[in-house]
C-alpha cells in the first residue's frame, strides 16, 4: 500500500507496465505514477516543444483563446496573471491580448529563452523555488501542467501563497477516469499501454471528483470543476514512425470511448471577495 502524495490517504495499485506503477488514492481518488522522476527539466527540450506545441501553435492558441473566453464570467477582472509552466508562451500571448499583465514560470531552459526572445518576462525555475512576491497575483493558471509536476502538491501550496486573497487558481488537466486504467491494464501485455496514460510525462491523473478534492485539500474555496473539450490540433510526426501510428490509434480509441476529455478546475484563495463578474459556484457535484 502506498501513501497519496496529495492527501496521504492509502493508495492501491491500478496499473503496471515495466518499471512503472500507478496507484489510486482511496480518499481523494487521484492516481499517481511511481516512481516519480527527480527532475524533469531535461525532458522538456527543443524537440518536445517542437513536437507538441510549436508545430500546432496557431490551433492551440485558438483553442486556448476560445476556452479562456468561455471562462471569463468566472474570472476576476484582468490584473496580474502568473502562468505556471508557460512553455513557449502560447497562453501568455492569449492572456496579454485579453488585457492581463502576464508573467510566466518555466523550468525548461529552451522554453525560457524562447519566451524571452518573444518579449515575455519569465521566472525561471520550479515554482517552489522562484522568488516572486506573495499575495500579488489575481489569477494563477496551470494549463496541462499540474499532472506533469512530481511535486504537484507543493506547487498548489506555492500558488496559494502567490495569489492575493480572493484571487483565483485555474487548473486545466486531462480527465482520466478509472476506466482508462482498466483499459490500459488490458493492453499492458503489449508493453505499449503507457501511451494511453502518457506515462511517464503525465504523473498525476485526475477526474472531476479528485481534482475538486485536491484543490479543496490545498486550501482553495468555492471550487468549481467543468468538463471541457480537448484541443484537437494535429501533432506532426515524420511519416514512417511506428510511434506516430500508435499515437493516432490510441487517440482514435480514446475518441471512440469518450476518454479524450479535459477538466478545468477553479478555486478561490480565501479572503476578500474577488471583484469579478460572477461568483464561483460551490456546487461541483451536480452531475
Least distance to Zn ion, CB of residue 35, Å: 18
d(CA 261, CA 175): 5
d(CA 220, CA 234): 35
- Calculate ∠ Cα 14-18-22, nearest 5°: 25
Least distance to Zn ion, CB of residue 220, Å: 16
Least distance to Zn ion, CB of residue 2, Å: 10
- Calculate ∠ Cα 227-63-165, nearest 5°: 65
Q: Would you count residue 4 as binding Zn ion (CB under 5 A)?
A: yes
Q: Would you count residue 7 as binding Zn ion (CB under 5 A)?
A: yes
Least distance to Zn ion, CB of residue 206, Å: 11
With a CB cutoff of 8 Å and minimum separation 6, the contacts of 48 are 108
Strand-pairing partners, residue 175, are: 206, 261
Question: Which of 15, 23, 25, 32 touches Zn ion by CB under 5 A?
Answer: 25
Q: Is 41 exposed, middle or buried (0-12, 13-18, 19+ CB in 10 A)?
A: middle
Q: Would you count residue 9 as binding Zn ion (CB under 5 A)?
A: yes
| CB-nearer residue toward Zn ion: 25 or 175 | 25
Question: Which of 28, 107, 184, 218 touches Zn ion by CB under 5 A?
Answer: 28
Give the footprint of Zn ion on residues 104-123 (CB under 5 A): none
Least distance to Zn ion, CB of residue 4, Å: 3
Least distance to Zn ion, CB of residue 129, Å: 25
- Calculate ∠ Cα 7-225-221, nearest 5°: 60
Integer angstrom CA distances of residue 207 from 48, 189, 200, 257: 26, 25, 18, 16
| CB-nearer residue toward Zn ion: 13 or 66 | 13
| CB-nearer residue toward Zn ion: 22 or 162 | 22
| CB-nearer residue toward Zn ion: 25 or 112 | 25
Q: Which stretch binds Zn ion (CB under 5 A): 17-25, 94-102, 124-132, 189-197?
A: 17-25
Q: Would you count residue 211 as binding Zn ion (CB under 5 A)?
A: no
Q: Which stretch binds Zn ion (CB under 5 A): 26-34, 49-57, 136-144, 231-239?
A: 26-34
Ranges of beta strands (E only) in the chain are 2-3, 10-17, 20-25, 31-34, 80-84, 101-106, 122-124, 137-143, 163-175, 204-205, 221-229, 261-268
Task: Report the interface residues with Zn ion, using CB under 5 A.
Answer: 4, 6-7, 9, 25, 27-28
Amino acid at each position: 500500500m502506498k501513501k497519496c502524495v496529495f492527501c496521504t490517504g492509502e493508495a492501491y495499485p491500478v496499473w503496471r507496465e515495466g518499471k512503472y506503477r500507478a496507484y489510486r488514492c482511496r480518499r481523494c481518488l487521484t492516481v499517481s505514477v511511481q516512481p516519480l522522476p527527480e527532475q524533469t527539466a531535461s525532458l522538456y527540450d527543443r524537440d518536445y516543444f517542437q513536437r507538441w506545441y510549436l508545430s500546432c501553435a496557431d490551433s492551440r492558441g485558438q483553442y486556448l483563446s476560445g476556452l479562456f473566453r468561455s471562462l471569463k464570467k468566472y474570472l476576476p477582472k484582468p490584473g496580474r496573471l502568473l502562468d505556471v509552466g508557460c512553455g513557449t508562451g502560447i497562453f501568455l500571448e492569449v492572456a496579454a491580448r485579453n488585457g492581463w499583465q502576464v508573467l510566466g514560470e518555466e523550468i525548461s531552459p529552451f522554453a525560457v529563452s524562447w519566451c524571452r526572445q518573444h518579449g515575455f518576462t519569465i521566472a525561471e525555475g520550479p515554482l517552489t523555488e522562484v522568488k516572486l512576491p506573495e499575495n500579488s497575483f489575481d489569477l494563477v493558471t496551470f494549463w496541462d501542467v499540474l499532472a506533469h509536476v512530481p511535486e504537484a502538491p507543493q506547487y498548489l501550496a506555492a500558488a496559494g501563497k502567490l495569489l492575493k486573497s480572493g484571487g483565483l487558481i485555474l487548473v486545466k488537466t486531462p480527465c482520466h477516469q478509472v476506466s482508462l486504467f482498466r483499459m490500459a491494464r488490458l493492453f499492458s501485455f503489449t508493453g505499449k499501454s503507457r501511451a494511453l496514460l502518457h506515462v511517464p510525462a503525465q504523473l498525476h491523473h485526475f477526474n472531476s471528483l479528485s481534482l475538486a478534492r485536491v484543490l479543496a485539500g490545498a486550501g482553495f474555496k468555492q471550487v468549481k470543476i467543468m468538463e471541457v473539450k480537448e484541443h484537437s490540433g494535429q501533432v506532426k510526426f515524420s511519416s514512417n514512425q511506428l510511434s506516430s501510428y500508435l499515437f493516432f490509434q490510441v487517440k482514435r480509441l480514446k475518441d471512440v470511448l469518450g476518454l479524450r476529455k479535459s477538466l478545468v478546475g477553479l478555486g478561490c484563495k480565501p479572503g476578500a471577495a474577488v471583484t469579478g463578474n460572477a461568483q464561483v459556484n460551490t456546487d461541483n457535484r451536480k452531475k
